[in-house]
Amino acid sequence: MEFSLKDLFFKGGDFMWPLLILAFITVLIVFERLIYYAFHRYRFSKAIRALHQGKASRSNPISRVGSVFINATSDGEEHTLNVSEREASRVIRQHERGLRILALIASISPLIGLLGTVWGMVIAFSKIAKLGESVTPADFADGIWTGLLTTVAGLLVAIPAMAMARIFEARVDKLVHDLNELTSHLRERFFAK
């Protein structure tokens, strides 16, 4: 007994639709983030060199925050730190965009799948109750099989969403670390006493 993906989708019932929507949103966010990160790549040491040479790039997050820091140094240390911290927060928010949604999808997809499974069991037991003594194992198995499809679908959505969220979060963590290093480096260079 072979089934196409379409057959499996429709056999899974109504709970497959929200899972399909969540899968679509996951794909959109992942591709958007991959493109964003491709255009906002940086190497910390290269960015520092570019800052010292006055060749900072706006697409480089380290250069962007460093430029703001350097341009504000004439207004004093406290002002410089405040301005650069605001810019760093902006850069971090841009790098984090969509990650909470990915994490949410990773959390709720298995629950929706489980709900579909429970619903399938309810239908199976309801069918058994109606059939009375003429129940065959096939009647029972059909409801369970249908319900389990949603659990599988929920996991198929959740696992890649969680993996990509973690990969992207690691990238943001590295950026935060590098921005802290940058601030320490520039503070030492411009305001060391």
Q: What is the pLDDT of residues 110-122, one digit of tens each?
A: 999 999 999 988 8
Rounded Cα gap, residues 52 and 167, in angstroms: 31
Do residues 62 and 44 touch, judged by C-beta distance below 8 A?
yes
Residue numbers of the domain that contains 47: 5-191
pLDDT at 133 over 80: no
Residue 141, both tokens: 């198995």
pLDDT, residue 137, reads: 79
C-alpha distances out from residue 114 to 23, 86, 96, 105, Å:
16, 43, 29, 14
As a whole number of angstroms, the distance between CA 149 and CA 38 comes to: 36
**Tell me, what's the pLDDT at 47?**
85
Amino acid at 58: R
Amino acid 8: pLDDT: 85
- Looking at the chain, the whole-number percentage of residues with pLDDT higher than 90 is 64
| Residue from 111, 108, 61, 120 nearest 87 by CA | 61
Express each pLDDT in 42-89 by its tens digit: 888 888 888 888 887 878 899 999 999 999 999 999 999 999 999 999
- Judge contact between 19 and 108, C-beta under 8 A: no
Element spanning 174, H or E: helix 137-191
pLDDT at 1: 62
Task: Please say whether the beta carbons of 84 and 72 come within 8 A.
Answer: yes
- Residue 15 phi, psi (nearest 5): -70, -10
Q: Give CA torsion, residues 175, 180, 183, 184, to 10 deg.
A: -140
Residue 86: per-residue pLDDT? 97
**Structural domains counted in the chain:** 1
